[in-house]
Amino acid sequence: MIPPQELLEENPNITNYIDEDSADNNLKDNEDWTRKKKHVFILSSAGKPIYSRYGNEDKLAWLFGVMQTLVSFVQSSGDCIKSIHAANTLFVFLVKKPLILVAVSKAQDGVQQLTSELSYVFNQITSILTLTRLNKIYEQRQNYDLRRLLAGVERLIDHLLDYSETEPSFFLGAVECLPLSLSVRDTINSAIVAACNKIKNLVFVILLAKNKLISLIRMKKYCLHPADLHLIFNLVQASESLKNSESWTPLCLPRFDSSVKPNSILLKKLRRGNCLEAINESLNVKDESYTTADFQEIRHYLYKCKSTAQFYQPSIGPPYTQTTEHLINVYKRAHHKLHSTVRPLKLIFERNSKEAILAWDTKGFELYIVFEPLIDTTKAISFVGKLLNWIKKKEERIFHLNAPTL
């Protein structure tokens, strides 16, 4: 760790940046900006501003200069800066040449979680520009203003960051499926295979609705990573043209380079099999879940199947209907403790005045359950067994267990 005073003495440029009048004017006059719990910045290795989640990059040029100086100062000693912990604020750096990504959070995120979010942001950029093109640009011009090429991509990044803060799929590294009966899902899969098996060089066909996977058909020997699916989901949700009409868009995926094309023949087959009605019904009706009146002590839960990288959760209800962010933070804290790089745990049971949380990591699954705060420990363990039995009986409905091949 570098003492702050030593850092300032050896790098007077930092104080020069901070002491500029523009710094005071930009921040003190913008209370909304300073009240944000989390900021994300992207800059080039040369310190050129590229993206700020909030505020104007040009007015924050001094801040980008500070971040670039910190990265360069640590690199000059043969090291790489990862994070800075200051009071209740966490600064996380991700150096992915030719870019530097920085997250500043006053929330309860951990270093791993913020690093993962920054990786998603970097992958979102390379999915549009490709890493090869990005490197070539900065090899030719180190001071290039990448914002010229990212016009419109900022919207995808904004949506991705909002999406990642409300969806457990990101920190779980899994995808949520739309609950459907096995017969309906089989009919959908058969219709997709029949409509697409003669299309040359088609590697994946993905059917989704409201960030939930309905079907994934793949070419033999190829798999699609959950991180790639998250980027596809984000692209669809953030693009009105993809949601409201047939459209084609080039997309480079970090784990697999491919593209997706619409197929109107498929829609006809799905209509004939009454599959669209079943999909709409599942989207509009709350799926049966293990939070009935007989088990009021269970408020919510997440179950991740490791073999399929898929997870299931019931609809969010009271007392979290208006405080979804709090519930997600409860899960994030538990996930961080299970997967801590310093002292990972297999089983956690904690309680406070608001709720009790049980988290369990096994070879086959991860389970997170939020209970009423006064639940008895023995009763909580009993509910775990009953919930696992319920999931086992319903797994064909709530998971996409077998991905047919083309």
What is d(CA 177, CA 229) in angstroms, rounded to the nearest whole number?
12
| pLDDT value for 265 | 66
Architecture field, domain 4-150 = 2-Layer Sandwich (3.30)
For the chain, residues classed under CATH 3.30.450.60 are 293-398
Token pair belonging to 66: 């500070």
For residue 362, pLDDT beyond 90: yes
* Residue range 55-79: mean pLDDT, rounded: 90
For the chain, residues classed under CATH 3.30.450.30 are 4-150
Token pair belonging to 348: 């956690």
Q: Give residue-wise pLDDT tens across range 380-405.
A: 999 999 999 999 999 999 999 877 77
List b or e across 4-19, with b for residues whose CB sees 16 or more CB atoms inside 10 angstroms. eeeeeeebeebeebee
Residue 373: pLDDT band with limits 50, 70, 90: very high
Least confident of 26-40, 224-238, 291-305, 332-346: 26-40
| pLDDT value for 4 | 45
Q: Give residue-wise pLDDT tens across range 255-267.
A: 664 344 445 565 6
* pTM metric for this prediction: 0.81
List b or e across 156-193, with b for residues whose CB sees 16 or more CB atoms inside 10 angstroms. bbebbbebbbebbbbbbbbbbbbbbeeebbbbbbebbb
Classify domain 293-398 by CATH number.
3.30.450.60
